[in-house]
Amino acid sequence: MARATYLLTYGVIVVSVLFVSGDGRAESTGAKEREARTACLAGDYTLGVRLLSELFVSYKDPGFIYNQARCFQQNRRYEDAIGRFHEYLRAGKKLSAEEKADAEKHIADCKELLASEKPQAAPAPLAPASQPETEKAPTAEKPSTTVHQTNPAAGSPGLRTGGIATASAGGAVLVAGIVFNLKSNSLAQDLKKTDGYTSDKESSRKTYATLAWVGYGVGAACVATGAILYLLGSRSDGEGTVAILPSFAPGQAGALVKGAF
């Protein structure tokens, strides 16, 4: 009798411990599930998915994977949700046909929502239908909008080259005029000497004096003309054609510039 009473008391204690342990585990699981659900609804899907992962690792229930997918779906993380739903179908070996159909429907909904969020390319404009030649309305010619630009800074190489050549020639003529003037002055000094006057010397002196003045006039005119041509060539856009012609008159000498700019 005493032994039976002892065994009955021991059995009651063991059953009581098992019930307490099961209730404690259920309470802990329920609290973590509520925390995960609250996090998902509040937008903290990272915390919600982590808590559900811990529950799945502890109890191997594919329902926690399903809840992960729903957490992603509620927070518009459709690609992650689709992946979790597929994992739920793979891990749920004993899912019913109704449960599988429910997961497939959520996958389809996520794909549809994902496609609607992607920007779509605008359709290309349709080309107007061609009209017969007899029905085409005459089109007015559009004025040309082409603008021809010039570069004034480029100048005219022809004018600049002509100016340099003309000025150089003028410099050479000026040197010749100086030489003739020196010879004329030398003969004039000889004519002032005693017995230094001769008609030939006087004639040569006059010739040298004339050539000297011609050299000065033509040389100065060429140098001035060359400078003008160079300046015009620096400003002009077109090619220039220039001709330098000597000009002589009684008591005068110079140069005539002829050309087109």
Q: What is the CATH number of the domain that holds 92?
A: 1.25.40.10
Taking residues 166-185, what's their average pLDDT? 86
Identify whether residues 39 and 104 lie together within a single domain: yes
**Residue 223's pLDDT is what?**
84
Listed residues 97, 117, 137: the one ending a domain: 117
Please tell me the number of Cα atoms within 13 Å of 62 on its side-chain side.
Answer: 16
Residue pair 232/195 in contact (Cβ under 8 Å)? The answer is no
Of the two residues 198 and 148, the one the predictor is more confident about is 198
Checking if the pLDDT of 51 tops 90, the result is yes
**Residue 251's pLDDT is what?**
55
Give 236's contacts (C-beta < 8 A, 6+ positions apart). Answer: 155, 156, 159, 261
Residue 146: inside a domain, yes or no? no
For 232, the domain range is 153-260
Residue 171: inside a domain, yes or no? yes
Residue 136: inside a domain, yes or no? no
Identify whether residues 21 and 76 lie together within a single domain: yes
Q: What is the pTM of this model?
A: 0.40
**Residue 153's pLDDT is what?**
46
Q: How many structural domains compose the chain?
A: 2
Identify whether residues 113 and 11 lie together within a single domain: yes
Cα(2)–Cα(9) distance, integer angstroms: 11
Taking residues 237-246, what's their average pLDDT? 54
Cα(237)–Cα(244) distance, integer angstroms: 21
Identify whether residues 244 and 191 lie together within a single domain: yes
Taking residues 193-221, what's their average pLDDT? 82
Residue pair 54/32 in contact (Cβ under 8 Å)? The answer is yes
Listed residues 117, 133, 164: the one ending a domain: 117
Identify whether residues 165 and 243 lie together within a single domain: yes
**Residue 120's pLDDT is what?**
62
Burial class (CB in 10 A: 0-12, 13-18, 19+), 201: middle
pLDDT in tens, 6-35: 433 444 333 333 333 445 556 778 899 999
Most confident of the following: 19-33, 112-126, 144-158, 168-182: 168-182
Residue 1: inside a domain, yes or no? no
Residue 189: inside a domain, yes or no? yes
Identify whether residues 110 and 47 lie together within a single domain: yes
Residue 60: inside a domain, yes or no? yes
**Residue 30's pLDDT is what?**
87
**Residue 58's pLDDT is what?**
92
Give 218's contacts (C-beta < 8 A, 6+ positions apart). Answer: 170, 173, 177, 246, 253, 254, 255
Of the two residues 86 and 28, the one the predictor is more confident about is 86
Identify whether residues 93 and 15 lie together within a single domain: yes
Residue 132: inside a domain, yes or no? no
Cα(193)–Cα(195) distance, integer angstroms: 6
Checking if the pLDDT of 45 tops 90, the result is yes
Identify whether residues 108 and 190 lie together within a single domain: no
